[in-house]
């Protein structure tokens, strides 16, 4: 079976889709377990606050490297083997974290865990390839729901597990679950790829970067996604500051439970996916970007009203999921044979956007408080909407008068992408 062929059944069983969703959530969760436990970890391993905070930085750096260096391998290697190997390696590195005797070992194991946890981003395009075209949006939305739930609920789960058996319990439990996932993926995933056509690894990385040059829609959607995640990160970064002070004054455990609110927004990703399957992928992006802007009105009112804060957070999460899911559906339709490289390029851009949003939040909070944070988030959201509008104008002009079907699917009616691996990135859209 080649990398461009869908599963022979023309779709995914519910059981396999559930397995892939849970697998993605568990993989990314490991990168966030330490955040509410830094004080406990610091005391036991005798780390200063700055050294303890480096655990979070190590996770971010490792994940970024994994997106760039490992995710593109899904276009080169047999995908089941790659996914299983990455999950097994993550389990091993989690065990190292669970038994870490000092901060140096914990930092190294955290970075390596994050590096291999990008196996989740091998599973997402894997699911898109196995899905029948008519259900790809629903499938991607379902798998991404699992991923986002893992990200949002990790802090809550780590707090509960640490109270039961200390901070190391979190890593032991996740290591066992990741090892189990590696076995289940090996048993239930079909073989995909490995048909003998090869790029060298350096050539694969060059090809990933070159996608930005030869795929105009990737450039547009990378910008749209980066601004959306930046806005998303602004809210979640500043939320802890807001809830810890008057008039809320919440404890750390109560703040951690607020992640459950975000989970409600993540569950709507499948709705966005189903709408994309019905030909409304651009409508989903536009509606999501518009809601992203308006959500900040409620979030701003949330400075003194918990009800408005809850409404704003749910709407913002829903909107971000709509933008992310619809963008992935647009991009996965471009080049089936380069799906992992496109995913790598897109997600690296998202990661950078989120990192910039978090960094700006720290500065703006000091000088402008919650009002300044809301202005920053609304500005980034407005940029998301503006960039999507410019994308539509540019693509439609380049395509002349595209058919309704082409416009809804997010790309102009250009010839199909070449699958010649010796020349893997000729342009497939007319947006340049």
Q: How many residues does the chain have?
A: 432
Digit-coded pLDDT (tens) for 114-124: 999 999 999 98
Whether the per-residue pLDDT at 431 is higher than 70: the answer is: no
Report d(CA 242, CA 244) in Å as an integer.
6
Average pLDDT, integer, range 25-36? 84
Q: How confident is the model at residue 197 (pLDDT cuts 50, 70, 90)?
A: low
Residue 60: pLDDT band (50, 70, 90) is confident
In the prediction, which pLDDT does 195 show?
45
Q: What is the DSSP string of 1-40?
A: --TTPPPTTSS--HHHHHHHHHHHHHHHHTTTTTGGGHHH
Quick one: pLDDT band at residue 401, thresholds 50, 70, 90? low
Task: Decide if pLDDT at 2 tops 70.
Answer: no
Extract the tokens encoding 308. Answer: 């408005």
Q: What percent of the chain has pLDDT over 90?
A: 42
Q: How far apart are CA 360 and CA 354, in angstroms?
A: 10
Would the CATH topology of 1-198 be identical to that of 200-432? yes
Q: How much is the pLDDT for 8? A: 44
CA distance 266 to 143: 11
Give the domain ranges of the chain: 1-198, 200-432
The count of C-alpha atoms lying within 13 angstroms of the C-alpha of 336, restricted to the half-sphere facing its C-beta, is 17
Ranges of beta strands (E only) in 214-284 are none
User: How far apart are alpha carbons 309 and 315 in whole angstroms?
Assistant: 10
Q: Which residue has the higher pLDDT, 120 or 412?
A: 120
The first and second tokens of residue 346, run together, are 């897109």
Best CA proximity match to 29, nearest among 144, 168, 147: 147
Q: Tokens standing for 340?
A: 């992992």
**Residue 213 above 60 pLDDT?**
yes
Q: Helix (H) and strand (E) counts for the chain?
A: 17, 0
Give the best-scoring range by mean pLDDT among 35-44, 106-115, 273-282.
106-115
Closest of 111, 131, 135, 113 to residue 55, by C-alpha: 111
Nearest partner of 406 among 239, 279, 264, judged by Cα? 279
Q: What DSSP line would sit under 56-78, residue for residue?
A: HHHHHHHHHHHHHHTGGGGGTS-
Mean pLDDT, residues 78-102: 95
CA distance linking residue 106 with residue 55, whole number of Å: 8
Picking from 105, 323, 143, the residue whose alpha carbon sits closest to that of residue 223 is: 323
Domain at 200-432, CATH from 1.10.3720.10, 1.10.760.10, 1.20.1250.20, 2.60.40.10:
1.20.1250.20
Using only C-alpha atoms, the chain has a radius of gyration, in whole angstroms, of 21
Q: What is the pLDDT of residue 171?
A: 93
Give pTM, 2 decimals: 0.77
**CA separation for the pair 133, 137 (Å, rounded):** 8
Contacts by 196-199, CB closer than 8 A, 24 or more apart: 197/421, 198/76, 198/421, 199/75, 199/76, 199/421, 199/424
User: What CATH superfamily is the domain 1-198?
Assistant: MFS general substrate transporter like domains (1.20.1250.20)
The most confident of 153-162, 231-240, 280-289, by mean pLDDT = 280-289
Sequence-distant (6+) residues with CB within 8 A of 83 are: 23, 119, 122, 123, 126, 185, 189
């Amino acid at each position: 079976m080649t990398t461009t062929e869908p599963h022979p059944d023309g779709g995914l069983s519910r059981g396999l889709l559930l397995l892939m969703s849970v697998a993605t959530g568990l993989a990314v969760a490991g990168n966030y377990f330490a955040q509410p436990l830094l004080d406990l970890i610091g005391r036991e391993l005798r780390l200063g606050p700055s050294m303890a905070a480096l655990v979070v930085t190590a996770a971010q750096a490792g994940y970024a490297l994994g997106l760039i260096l490992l995710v593109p391998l899904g276009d080169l290697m047999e995908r089941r083997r790659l996914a299983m190997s990455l999950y097994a390696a993550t389990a091993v590195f989690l065990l190292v974290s669970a038994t870490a005797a000092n901060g140096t070992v914990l930092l190294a194991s955290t970075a390596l865990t994050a590096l291999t946890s990008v196996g989740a981003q091998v599973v997402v395009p894997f699911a898109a390839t196995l899905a029948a075209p008519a259900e790809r949006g629903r499938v991607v939305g379902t798998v991404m729901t699992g991923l986002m739930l893992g990200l949002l609920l990790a802090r809550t789960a780590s707090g509960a597990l640490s109270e039961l058996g200390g901070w190391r319990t979190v890593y032991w439990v996740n290591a066992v679950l990741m090892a189990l996932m590696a076995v289940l993926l090996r048993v239930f995933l079909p073989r995909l790829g490995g048909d003998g056509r090869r790029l060298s690894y350096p050539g694969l990385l060059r090809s990933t970067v070159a996608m930005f040059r030869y795929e105009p829609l990737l450039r547009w959607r990378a910008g749209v996604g980066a601004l959306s995640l930046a806005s998303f990160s602004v809210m979640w970064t500043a939320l802890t500051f807001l809830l810890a002070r008057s008039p809320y004054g919440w404890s750390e455990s109560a703040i951690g439970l607020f992640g459950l609110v975000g989970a409600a927004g993540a569950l709507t990703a499948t709705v966005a996916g189903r709408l994309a399957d019905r030909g409304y992928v651009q409508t989903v992006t536009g509606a999501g970007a518009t809601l992203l802007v308006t959500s900040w009105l409620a979030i701003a009112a949330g400075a003194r009203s918990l009800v408005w804060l809850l409404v704003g957070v749910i709407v913002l999460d829903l909107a971000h999921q709509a933008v992310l899911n619809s963008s992935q559906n647009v991009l996965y339709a471009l080049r089936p044979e380069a799906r992992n490289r496109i995913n790598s390029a897109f997600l690296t851009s998202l990661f950078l956007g989120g990192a910039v949003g978090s960094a700006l939040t720290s500065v703006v909070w000091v000088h402008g408080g919650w009002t300044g944070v809301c202005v920053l988030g609304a500005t980034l959201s407005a940029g998301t909407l503006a960039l999507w509008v410019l994308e539509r104008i540019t693509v439609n002009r380049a395509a002349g008068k595209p058919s309704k079907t082409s416009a809804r699917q997010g790309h102009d009616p250009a010839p199909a992408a070449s699958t010649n691996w010796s020349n893997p990135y000729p342009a497939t859209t007319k947006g340049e």
